[in-house]
Structure 1
Amino acid sequence: MKEYRTLTADGMAEEEIKKSRFICHLKRVASEEEARDFINAIKKEHYRATHNCSAFILGENMEIKRSSDDGEPSGTAGVPMLTVLENNQLTNVAAVVTRYFGGVKLGAGGLIRAYAGAVAHAVSEIGIVEVKEQQGIAITMNYSQYQEFANWRTTHALEEYDTEFLADIRTMIFTDKKETQDIIDSLTEFYHGKIQVEKADFRIVEIPVH
């Protein structure tokens, strides 16, 4: 699979700009149908709102992009929202910004800043993850060797998973495929070749982007 970036989770954030309420809902989506269902659900929930503008991006290569101004002046809402998603390199994400008009007109520039800002604020609040496929490495060692394992892991910023304490200790780590051999070589050198190390299955991981 190709690596891509998306939201940490679904969520929302709200801002008030010149007495208008701007509520941004963000959702991870896997298809255009799911994105449109989400947009319609927000529209139904906020049917009294002045506008429910939207944008979404789909595909590991960000190949599907759609946006809607929902009655705002052309180009002042949907495209600025989409641009924020693009600038953050996000995909499989849908955004809806609901506006409750507060009586003060913002002008074209003000609307662009408000809608883009609402999405940027929500993305910042929720967070971003990088979705990638990593290679598993299965390690078998004795108990005295395991006492040193945490120090080695800390050096390489790796976590351990599925650890079993039996006659020997069996545990798993995961790393980017291109780094797998270097990690195995490091382990072998650290333990002078006296532990058992073998490649295992791949898995999908989500790594926070700071």
Structure 2
Amino acid sequence: MTQKDVYHTITVSPAPVLFKVKNSKFFGYAYPVSNEATIKSHLERLKEEHHKARHWCYAYQIGNEDQTFRFSDDGEPNNSAGLPIYRQIQSFGVTNILIVVVRYFGGIKLGVGGLINAYKSTAQLTLEHCQIITKTIQTTYLISFAYTDINKVMRIIKEKNLEVINQKLELNCEITISVRKKDSNMVFNLFDGLYGVQIKKLNSDNIQ
């Protein structure tokens, strides 16, 4: 079974979008994010920029296989704002993203149904303005061996066209390689089967 090793995300924030209904204004923002500290920073900046707004509702999703998500109604009726935003993130199939919808109240109540539609529409417009790209999940390995074994190690690296991201070629050698996740087990087994060669996974799967 082939492992999934790609996902969809954004790398730049598009210009904000504006959705209007019954005098209320909804500004939509999208940010590439990888941790909650960055999310907090974006929210604080938007609250300063739009200090006269009534609500700053948002949803985010972080991670690839193990995903973390959260959404907030920020004072709007329960599940009328954050959840519709999050459902658009799911619909577009993106991760490592924060969507914030800033609302200026126009004096006319929209009702729960109207709010759901407004927040959904703003999030959808925001995502449509994003440049969504595909990224690859990589696995990083450290290969350790004696210099006398360098030829057999380098032969595999060359044959499999592996990316070397760091190397120390001395009496005791170390080479760090980056491998697409779907190829990681195959590559691990190739080096693990070599006498005198040790291979270990350096960290959690990362992106490229």
Bucket of the pairwise TM-score, normalised by the shorter protein: 0.5 to 0.7
Deviation at 1:85, TM superposition (A): 0.3
What code does the residue aligned with 1:104 have?
A: I
Deviates more, 1:29-38 or 1:115-124: 29-38
Structure 2 residue corresponding to 1:33, chosen from 33, 37, 50: 37
What is the CA-CA distance between 1:78 and the residue it aligns to? 0.5
Aligned ranges for residues 75-90 of structure 1 at < 5 Å?
A: 75-90=79-94
TM-score by length of 1: 0.61
SS of the counterpart of 2:102?
Answer: strand
**Equivalent-residue separation in structure 1 for 2:22 and 2:62 (angstroms):** 33
CA displacement at 1:7 relative to structure 2: 2.1
- The one of 3, 10, 15 equivalent to 2:6 is 3
Shift of 1:72: 0.5
The reply on whether 1:117 has 2:121 as its aligned counterpart is: yes
Query: Runs of 5+ in structure 2 lacking a partner?
Result: 139-179, 183-206
- For residues 115 and 88 of structure 1, the distance between their equivalents in structure 2, rounded to whole angstroms, comes to 15
Secondary structure of 2:129 counterpart: helix
Residues 144-195 of structure 1, C-alpha deviations (whole Å, 9 max, x = no match): xxxxxxxxxxxxxxxxxxxxxxxxxxxxxxxx998xxxxxxxxxxxxxxxxx
Q: 1:90 deviation in Å?
A: 0.9
> Partners of 2:32 and 2:107 in 1: how far apart?
33
Q: Is the 8 A contact 1:50 1:99 kept in 2?
A: yes
Structure 1 residue 127, shift from structure 2 partner: 2.8
Task: Report % sequence identity.
Answer: 35
What is the aligned partner in structure 2 of residue 17 from structure 1? 21
Q: What is the total number of aligned residue pairs between the two structures?
A: 140
- Calculate the aligned-residue CA RMSD, in Å: 2.3
Q: Contact 1:7–1:123 at 8 Å: present in 2 too?
A: no
What amino acid does structure 1 have at the position aligned with 2:136? Answer: K
Q: Residues 76 and 111 of structure 1 are in contact (CA less than 8 Å); yes or no, is this contact kept in structure 2?
A: yes
Deviation at 1:104, TM superposition (A): 1.4
* Counterpart selection for 2:107 from 88, 103, 112: 103
Residues 34 and 62, structure 2, Cα contact 8 Å, conserved in 1: yes
CA-to-aligned-CA distance 1:71-95 (integer Å, 9 cap, x gap): 1011100111011101111110011
Distance in 2 between residues matched to 1:72 and 1:39, nearest whole Å:
17
Residue from 30, 42, 50 that aligns with 1:46: 50
SS in 2 for 1:126: coil
SS in 2 for 1:38: helix
Distance 2:51 2:109 in 1: 21
